[in-house]
């Protein structure tokens, strides 16, 4: 429930409650329903991607023009995943390759007109290693931007339950820098 969304598990014989706005099913278990927002598990590269999309749909985000992953580099890598201006999720990674792979999955599941990585300029040794992996991401029209992290918090609300790394990644998402 970290994203503030209630998940309800139903067996195939259960009636779907009227308050459900998005349903997730497998191809085999899908049944006729009045829910217009039905996601099929097999259509997504990972469970995380599936939950991201369900979350976005539950908040009324039917399409996404720009998928953005903003990253605070360091020993602990903070990442914020955005669909247009909607913060879909945050995460902390301990391995640079894992962070880049998760960014690639995010872009693959969104297939937007624009795919962007915004990475903070701090911690140069960690940043440069991370850039090595990010440049190998397979995403159409991927652009990578390097931004100054000084005063990166600005007027952005950062929830208290997030780590410092996740909060920094959210702050970085609002900045624009130069393309690398």
CA geometry: angle 123, 117, 122, nearest 5 deg: 15
Instruction: Note the residue count of the chain.
Output: 180
Long-range contacts of 23-27 (CB under 8 A, 24+ apart): 24/50, 24/54
Residue 115 structure tokens = 């795919």
Residue 108 predicted with pLDDT over 70:
yes
DSSP 156: -
Residue 145 structure tokens = 């931007």
Residue 60 lies in a domain: no
Residue 128 lies in a domain: yes
3-state secondary structure of 39: strand
- For residue 146, what pLDDT is reported? 95
**Predicted confidence band at 1 (pLDDT cuts at 50, 70, 90)?**
very low
CA dihedral (39, 81, 21, 160) positive or negative: positive
Residue 38 lies in a domain: no
User: For residues 23 and 138, what is the distance between their CA atoms, to the nearest angstrom?
Assistant: 29
Residue 51 lies in a domain: no
Give how many domains the chain has, as a whole number: 1
> Which H, E and C letters describe 39-108, residue by residue?
EEHHHCCCHHHHHHHHHHHHCCCCCCCEEEEEEECCCCEEEEEEECCEEEEEEEECCHHHHHHHHHHHHH
Residue 32 lies in a domain: no
Q: What is the pLDDT of residues 113-136, one digit of tens each?
A: 899 999 999 889 999 999 999 999
CATH number of the domain that 132 lies in? 3.30.420.140
Q: Which residue has the tokens 């195939």?
A: 12
Residue 119 structure tokens = 């990475």
User: For residues 50 and 21, what is the distance between their CA atoms, to the nearest angstrom?
Assistant: 15
pTM for this one?
0.86
Q: What is the pLDDT of residues 147-167, one digit of tens each?
A: 988 754 555 667 778 889 999
Mean pLDDT of 130-146: 92
Residue 2 lies in a domain: no
- For residue 24, what pLDDT is reported? 86
Mean pLDDT of 83-106: 95
- For residue 151, what pLDDT is reported? 58
Q: Which domain holds residue 81?
A: 66-179
Residue 29 structure tokens = 């278990």
Could you tell me which of 119, 117, 114, 53 has the C-alpha nearest to residue 86?
53
Report the chain's mean pLDDT, rounded to a whole number.
86
CA geometry: angle 130, 132, 136, nearest 5 deg: 110
Residue 101 lies in a domain: yes
Residue 98 lies in a domain: yes
């Amino acid at each position: 429930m970290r994203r503030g969304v209630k998940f309800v598990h139903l067996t195939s014989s259960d009636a779907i409650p009227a308050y459900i706005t998005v349903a997730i099913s497998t191809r085999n278990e899908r049944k006729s329903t009045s829910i217009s927002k039905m996601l099929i598990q097999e259509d997504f590269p990972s469970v995380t991607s599936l939950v991201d999309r369900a979350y976005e749909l539950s908040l009324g985000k039917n399409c996404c023009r720009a998928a953005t992953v903003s990253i605070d580099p360091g020993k602990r890598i903070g990442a914020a995943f955005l669909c247009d201006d909607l913060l879909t999720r945050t995460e902390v990674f301990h391995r640079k390759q894992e962070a880049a792979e998760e960014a690639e999955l995010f872009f693959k599941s969104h297939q937007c007109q624009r795919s962007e990585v915004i990475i903070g300029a701090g911690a140069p040794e960690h940043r440069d290693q991370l850039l090595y992996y990010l440049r190998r991401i397979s995403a159409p029209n991927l652009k990578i931007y390097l931004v100054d992290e000084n005063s990166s918090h600005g007027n952005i609300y950062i929830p208290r339950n997030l780590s410092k790394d996740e909060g920094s990644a959210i702050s970085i998402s609002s900045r624009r820098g130069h393309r690398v």
